[in-house]
Amino acid sequence: GAGVSQSPSNKVTEKGKDVELRCDPISGHTALYWYRQSLGQGLEFLIYFQGNSAPDKSGLPSDRFSAERTGGSVSTLTIQRTQQEDSAVYLCASSLVTGFEAFFGQGTRLTVV
């Protein structure tokens, strides 16, 4: 596609429910990143995929968070048993090569009530 696509753009969920956030990177981009941004804060790294290498999961805040990337393309970030502190904008980015310009999707605004 022309850009990084994320869905849904907004998600309101009840505390304790599971949610899945989707990221469709730019075609041909081997690197894919997930970040989280709470209101007024910077970008918090969550997880990074590069080609067929094992993902860098060092930023995942708890074992309720997981992500996968199927076929080196689409990625899904799953949050189980959501908590109110999970409320944030979840941003996905992709780049052709590690360390080069990463292009961001419009994000998913998650609200846990």
Partner 1 sequence: EDKVVQSPLSLVVHEGDTVTLNCSYEVTNFRSLLWYKQEKKAPTFLFMLTSSGIEKKSGRLSSILDKKELFSILNITATQTGDSAVYLCAVAEIQGAQKLVFGQGTRLTINP
Q: Which residues bind partner 1 (CB under 8 A)?
A: 31, 33, 35, 41-43, 45, 48, 50, 56, 58-59, 89, 91, 93, 98-107, 109
Rounded to the nearest whole angstrom, what is the least distance from the CB of residue 44 to partner 1 in the complex? Answer: 8
Strand partners, 33: 48, 93
Rounded to the nearest whole angstrom, what is the least distance from the CB of residue 68 to partner 1 in the complex? Answer: 17
Select 80 or 109, whichever has its Cβ closest to partner 1.
109
- Residues in Cβ contact with 30 at an 8 Å cutoff, skipping those fewer than 6 apart: 50, 51, 72, 95, 96, 97, 98
Element (H, E) at 36: strand 31-37
User: What percent of the chain is helix, strand and coil (3-state, nearest 5)?
Assistant: 5, 45, 50
- Please say whether the beta carbons of 38 and 111 come within 8 A: no
Select 41 or 62, whichever has its Cβ closest to partner 1.
41
Rounded to the nearest whole angstrom, what is the least distance from the CB of residue 75 to partner 1 in the complex? Answer: 14
- Please say whether the beta carbons of 87 and 109 come within 8 A: no
Select 18 or 97, whichever has its Cβ closest to partner 1.
97
Select 11 or 104, whichever has its Cβ closest to partner 1.
104
Rounded to the nearest whole angstrom, what is the least distance from the CB of residue 56 to partner 1 in the complex? Answer: 6
